[in-house]
Chains A and B, each alone.
Chain A
Amino acid sequence: MQTTDISIKIGGEAGQGVESSGGGFVKALSRGGLFIFGNSDYMSRIRGGYNFYQIRASDSPILCHTSHIHLLLAFNEEAITQHKDEIVKGGAIIYDEDFKIDADSLKARGIQLFPMPLVKFAYESGADRIMANTAAIGTAVGVLEYDFERIAEVITQNFKRKGEAVVNANLNLARQAYTLAKEKYAKNFKFKVSPIPDPPKRMVLHGNQAICLGAIGGGCRFMSGYPMTPASTIIEFLSEKANQFGIVTKQTEDEISAILMAIGASHAGVRAMTATSGGGFSLMVEALGMAGSTETPLVIVEAQRAGPSTGLPTRTEQGDLEFVLHASQGEFPRIILTPGTIEQCFEAGWRSFNLAEKYQCPVILLTDLYLTSAVRSVDKTIFDFSKIPIERGALLDDAALDKLTSDYKRHAITDSGISPRAIPSHPKAVFMTTSDEHDEHGHIIEDAESRIKMMEKRMRKLELAVEEMRTPEVYGVKGAEITLIGWGSTYGALHESVDRLNEEGTKANMVHFVDIWPFPEERVTPLLKEAKYTLCVEGNYTGQLANIIRTCTGIQVDKRILKYDGRPFSADDILLRVKEEVRLHV
């Protein structure tokens, strides 16, 4: 039984410690045994502008953020202007007592005001003005009546490298604010969180980190990339861990070079990946086709952000699905995975390497800014590295190559379409490959007959690969009146929407795609045929999955619920629009 489900928002300028305060608060709550979800929203600049960090904490598992908040920590006046409409009745704003705000109108909305001498406390403690954020966190812990020791532990850890004096100044400041807030405001604030006894140790991480853990477990040995939001944290993380896990990372001169180096490394025999966003992927498109033609295994993470072009560099979108599906000239096998949760990101992180090597083709792991940067608490047990299978597909080892009696054919025509792969450097397998159409030896051909054979050989691989594609997950009640369809990062919001619809008496379920290509149409078609009223929920303008579904199955979804404002879907967003549809059609 869920008794606690609270959302806290911290808002202010870049440089005021919004992100670090949020991150610290998340740790303190998770270590107290609460399930948490944290997402941030920031502008494409280093200082100034407006940023926020939102934390949701619950005593039951949660999968997404909410549109409403209970507590706002306003580091500047703009935070109040931006978020006052999101605050629930009885909710509160913590802010510095010197802010000029329209108190009457806020109170009229049922919002409680908790002014505090945050800056004054910061100055009195001999610290910098920026430490007012520590005082604000102390205040929040006070009004929530959460365990102060949990936040004290995080403060100590976070400031440790700055020395004991800084740690103590921050601790004293937080405690001073905590004490005053608890005494002055706690009794009026009815939303509380408390640590559970003997809390389990959960991990708090975002999608990119989960992908990296999966890649490490999957034996990734090479990663090349060019910095681009929101993919950069992948190369940063793997670079930090490179020596520990035997990975070579390379920041390149551009994304063209990034994908090419990964292709070169893969051709030479190591598991290789690159990561970028849509703009960088645009530059990689030519080489994507080259990996397809030369049948080079390759993992590409495409972390979407809002386009077109530079678009909204720090905002989320699901606008690249049809792009990655069709990118590059001609036709060649590719695999597209669209994980939607931390667990799915971890799995896709290692599974993509198996698929790439088994089918000797590019595998695109399509995520988005929301998934890659929002953190969630998960049980450590989901990261079970001992259960990761390493499947390298038809790979000839030295012993097999020693026994070769005729010339090795890199692109041998086979029934499955998969040509046994050799790693170059064996004396009996001196071979080449080329982006030109080629014969079994990898030499350039132009005759129609050879072309047809090679084209059909490559494309045949998809017939096998499709068998391995996951059937979309169906969650919710059987015989539902409405079926929500989605892919990737909307998983959490869809899941919660289904629960809430069913609680409220509308029989609902969801069909969520984690594997989109090759499209498992034989299993998808019956699922969708039995659905009574389908709504495809996507973070784009055109409904790209709905388009693919129509192309592959002939089924037209009944309604497309679309969003292209650069912000992620919450369950509240979905329900608001679904309920209108239900009223009209069900």
Chain B
Amino acid sequence: MSNVTITEYQGIETSTWCPGCGDFPILKCIKDALVQLNIAPHQVIMTSGIGCGSKLPHYMRVNAYNSVHGRSLPVAMGIKLANHDFTVIAVTGDGDGYGIGGNHFIHTCRRNPQIVHIAENNQVYGLTKGQYSPTSDYGYVTTTSPEGTIEVAINPIALAITTGATFVARTSSGDPKHMTQVIAKAIQHKGYALIDVLQPCVTFNKKNTYAWYKERVYKLDDEKGYDPHDRKAAWARAQEWGDRIPIGVIYQEVGRPTYEDQVTVLKQGPLVKQGFNIGRIKDDIELLKEEFV
């Protein structure tokens, strides 16, 4: 059935990631999900910030704008408003997306544009060689917190739910099959979709390793009766961290209009396809000039 093949997404660049990096499965799963959904590379645009994970779009064949640190989401929003036909996937890290880009994160949740936000959360700053991040656990020892961090970690899942996100999920680099499914669901979701990915940094995070996550994660799909549309239930699962970490779609709200659906001008179709013809607005221009007389 599917016409789009994985080779179409095959990049030519060699990655700079460390062997075993949790970013490798993310790269593969994004491509797999897009192929599964029969979306061709020219129909997709990715944005990213700065950090190891933000190099991801370079390692596949796809439209992309690799911006500066923390700024993936607003660039994605601008692209979406200019051409809402695109499947827009914004990639960020944890420091990138929840720290320096934290303000953009909460406001994007409120706006509900149809953008998939994949946050590669390794709970550490990797590219700058091992400082603590906004998701580092309390007491985590790094070069900038030799006595352990003395601030609690941000909870991106709860924060997204409370600021209005309509799709909030968590998956793990340790389970690519699960990740592909979650990404595919997120792409199909009408609205903003956060996927927080537990993504081990094999070089700088010696605590939150593949093994550490494996011992703790459990799938919400296996929880009988769990309904991600139940906000209260979702809120309870959002608080879970430590001994048990849920993965899967934690929260989903269906039916809320997307931001772009509510912009009057965009009801005529994507902005970039509307063209520009001064002749068409000639009469309006004359009326406009009269307003100043």
Residues of A near any B CB (own CB < 8 A)? 30-31, 201-205, 209, 213, 216-217, 219, 221-222, 224, 241-248, 250, 252-254, 256-257, 260-272, 286-287, 290, 294, 380, 383, 385-386, 388, 390, 423-427, 429-436, 443-444
Q: Which 8 A-B pairs rank lowest in CB-CB distance, beginning with the nearest?
A: A264-B78, A260-B74, A261-B78, A434-B66, A268-B82, A432-B64, A203-B292, A265-B82
Answer whether residue B83 sits at the interface, using C-beta atoms and an 8 A cutoff.
yes
Candidates B57, B63, B67, B83; contact of A290 at CB < 8 Å: B67
| Chain B residues within 8 Å of A443, by CB | 13, 58
Q: Compute how far the CA of A221 lies from the CA of B276 in the bound complex, rounded to whole angstroms.
A: 9
Chain B residue at smallest Cβ distance from A252: B74
Q: Do A269 and B74 touch (CB < 8 A)?
A: no
Segment touching A, from B40-48, B135-143, B170-178, B184-192: B40-48
Additional A-B contacts beyond A286-B68, A434-B65 (7; CB < 8 A): A203-B292, A216-B288, A246-B274, A268-B82, A272-B78, A385-B282, A390-B276
Interface flags for B61-94 (1: CB within 8 Å of A; 0: not) read: 1111111100100111111111101100000000
Interface residue range, chain B: 35 or more
Q: Do A430 and B271 touch (CB < 8 A)?
A: no
Q: Compute how far the CA of A443 lies from the CA of B55 in the bound complex, rounded to whole angstroms.
A: 9
**Is chain A's binding surface mostly helix, strand, loop or mixed?**
mixed
Chain A residue at smallest Cβ distance from B72: A260
Candidates B65, B85, B268, B282; contact of A267 at CB < 8 Å: B65
Q: Do B271 and A221 touch (CB < 8 A)?
A: yes
Chain B residue at smallest Cβ distance from A439: B13
| Chain B residues within 8 Å of A429, by CB | 42
Q: Compute how far the CA of A485 lies from the CA of B261 in the bound complex, rounded to whole angstroms.
A: 51
Answer whether residue B104 sits at the interface, using C-beta atoms and an 8 A cutoff.
yes
Q: Compute how far the CA of A383 lies from the CA of B286 in the bound complex, rounded to whole angstroms.
A: 10
Q: Do A267 and B274 touch (CB < 8 A)?
A: no
Q: Compute how far the CA of A30 lies from the CA of B293 in the bound complex, rounded to whole angstroms.
A: 8
Q: Do B61 and A430 touch (CB < 8 A)?
A: yes
| Chain B residues within 8 Å of A201, by CB | 293
Q: A248-B271, A385-B278 are in contact. Are A425 and B13 (CB under 8 A)?
A: no
Candidates B74, B265, B292; contact of A257 at CB < 8 Å: B74
Q: A253-B103, A386-B278 are in contact. Are A432 and B58 (CB under 8 A)?
A: yes
Q: Number of contacts between A and B (CB, 8 Å)? A: 191
Candidates A221, A268, A272, A430; contact of B41 at CB < 8 Å: A430
- Nearest-neighbour CB distance to chain B for A127, whole angstroms, equals 28
Q: Compute how far the CA of A250 lies from the CA of B43 in the bound complex, rounded to whole angstroms.
A: 24
| Chain A residues within 8 Å of B65, by CB | 264, 267, 294, 432-434
Answer whether residue B224 sits at the interface, using C-beta atoms and an 8 A cutoff.
no
Q: Do A432 and B57 touch (CB < 8 A)?
A: yes
Answer whether residue B154 sits at the interface, using C-beta atoms and an 8 A cutoff.
no
Of the listed residues B13, B40, B63, the one surrounded by the most CB atoms of chain A closer than 10 A to its CB is B63
Q: Do B81 and A263 touch (CB < 8 A)?
A: no
| Chain A residues within 8 Å of B71, by CB | 256, 260, 287, 290
Q: Compute how far the CA of A164 lies from the CA of B86 in the bound complex, rounded to whole angstroms.
A: 52
Q: Compute how far the CA of A217 lies from the CA of B281 in the bound complex, rounded to whole angstroms.
A: 9
| Chain B residues within 8 Å of A444, by CB | 13, 55, 58, 66
| Chain B residues within 8 Å of A213, by CB | 288-289
Could you list some 21 contacts between A and B, CB below 8 A? A202-B293, A209-B292, A221-B82, A221-B271, A246-B265, A252-B107, A261-B75, A264-B77, A265-B81, A266-B78, A268-B78, A268-B79, A270-B272, A385-B285, A425-B43, A432-B58, A433-B64, A434-B58, A434-B65, A435-B66, A443-B13
- Nearest-neighbour CB distance to chain A for B170, whole angstroms, equals 25
Chain A residue at smallest Cβ distance from B78: A264
Candidates B45, B78, B264, B266; contact of A260 at CB < 8 Å: B78
Chain B residue at smallest Cβ distance from A427: B42
| Chain B residues within 8 Å of A216, by CB | 281, 285, 288
Candidates A261, A385, A424; contact of B81 at CB < 8 Å: A261
Of the listed residues A248, A390, A432, the one surrounded by the most CB atoms of chain B closer than 10 A to its CB is A432
